[in-house]
């Protein structure tokens, strides 16, 4: 879930940005998808940044929210 509606950016990173996707969240609950690039091996990070919409009701919250989560790529299967 997100603290407000708005627009955001998802990136898959390691030593550089390997993939990115822009999205719009019309509700505070949305599901977004991004494909892990075929050449990515080992560990990486998924980074999500969300900017509050100008017409969002949550005007007393910070206009930028973000989260970073590590993941491991296992291509052996």
> What does the DSSP 8-state code read for residue 36?
P
Tell me the chain's radius of gyration from C-alpha atoms: 14
Distances (CA, A) of 74 to 13, 38, 39, 43, 77: 16, 11, 12, 9, 7
Question: What is this structure's pTM?
Answer: 0.87
**16-74 pLDDT per residue, tens:** 999 999 999 999 999 999 999 998 999 999 999 999 999 999 999 999 999 999 999 98
Q: 10 Å Cβ neighbour count for 25? A: 19
Would you state the pLDDT for residue 5? 95
Would you state the pLDDT for residue 1? 84
Chain centroid offset of residue 49 CA: 6
Q: How confident is the model at residue 76 (pLDDT cuts 50, 70, 90)?
A: confident
């Amino acid at each position: 879930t997100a603290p407000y509606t708005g627009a955001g950016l998802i990136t898959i990173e390691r030593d550089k940005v390997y993939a990115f996707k822009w999205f719009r969240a019309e509700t505070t609950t949305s599901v977004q998808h991004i494909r892990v690039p075929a050449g990515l091996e080992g560990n990486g990070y998924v980074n999500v940044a969300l900017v509050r919409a100008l017409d969002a009701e949550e005007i007393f919250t910070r206009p930028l929210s973000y989260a970073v989560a590590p993941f491991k790529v296992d291509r052996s299967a």
